[in-house]
């Protein structure tokens, strides 16, 4: 079911308002994250574990 033109415009305006509403918080968060210590192993280790697990699951099915 296709949306009417006014619904598309309303959805676009709503999306723009949400972006403008969150922008000050995102800007503050980005400024504070530059000053925070970097902890890349906390991101990389679980990511590698998930990738390895997915590869394992694919290998078990194939």
pLDDT truncated to tens, each residue of the chain (62 aa)?
788 999 999 999 999 999 999 989 988 888 888 877 778 888 899 999 999 999 999 999 98
- DSSP label of 48: H
Are 11 and 3 in contact by the 8 Å Cβ rule? The answer is yes
Q: What is the pLDDT of residue 31?
A: 86
Residue 58 CA to residue 52 CA, distance in Å, equals 10
Q: What is the pLDDT of residue 46?
A: 96
Q: What is the pLDDT of residue 16?
A: 95
Q: What is the pLDDT of residue 47?
A: 96
Q: What is the pLDDT of residue 35?
A: 78
Half-sphere exposure of 27 (CA within 13 A, CB side): 6
């Amino acid at each position: 079911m296709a949306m009417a033109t006014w619904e598309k415009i309303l959805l676009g305006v709503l999306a723009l308002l949400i972006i403008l509403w969150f922008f000050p918080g995102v800007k503050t968060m980005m400024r504070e994250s530059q000053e925070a210590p970097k902890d890349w192993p906390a991101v990389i280790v679980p990511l590698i574990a998930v990738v390895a697990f997915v590869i394992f699951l694919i290998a078990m099915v194939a």
